Structure 1
Amino acid sequence: MEYSTKKKKGAASEWAEYTGPLEVDAKTVVSIRAVDSAGNVSEVVEVTRKTLR
C-alpha cells in the first residue's frame, strides 16, 4: 500500500510506502493506492479527515 498527501491548493507529495498511522490535519488530502509484487497498481482513492469519521 502506498500513500501521497497534499494540502488543499498545494502540490502532492511523492508516493511512499504505508508503514503506520499518519497524522494529518483537516486541510490534508490523503491519496491511497495498492501495488502488488507484479507491479499492478489499483485505482487511487482520496480521503480526508471528514470522510474518515
Structure 2
Amino acid sequence: MKEYIEERAIEIANYIIEEKATVRQTAKKFGVSKSTVHIDVTKEAFL
C-alpha cells in the first residue's frame, strides 16, 4: 500500500475514535468519499 494511504487511514481511524464521528462526518472532514473512508478503515486497505 502506498505510504500516504496508510497515513491517511491512521488519521481517519483516530479521528473516528476520538470524535465519535460518523463515516459521513469523517468523509467531509478529510475531503474524501464515504467509500474511501470505509475502505481506509477496513482490512481491504491493507491487502
TM-score relative to the length of structure 1? 0.21
Query: Greater strand percent: which structure?
Result: 1
User: Which structure would you say has the larger Rg?
Assistant: 1
**Which has the bigger relative contact order, CA under 8 A and spacing at least 6?**
2
Query: Greater helix percent: which structure?
Result: 2
TM-score relative to the length of structure 2? 0.23
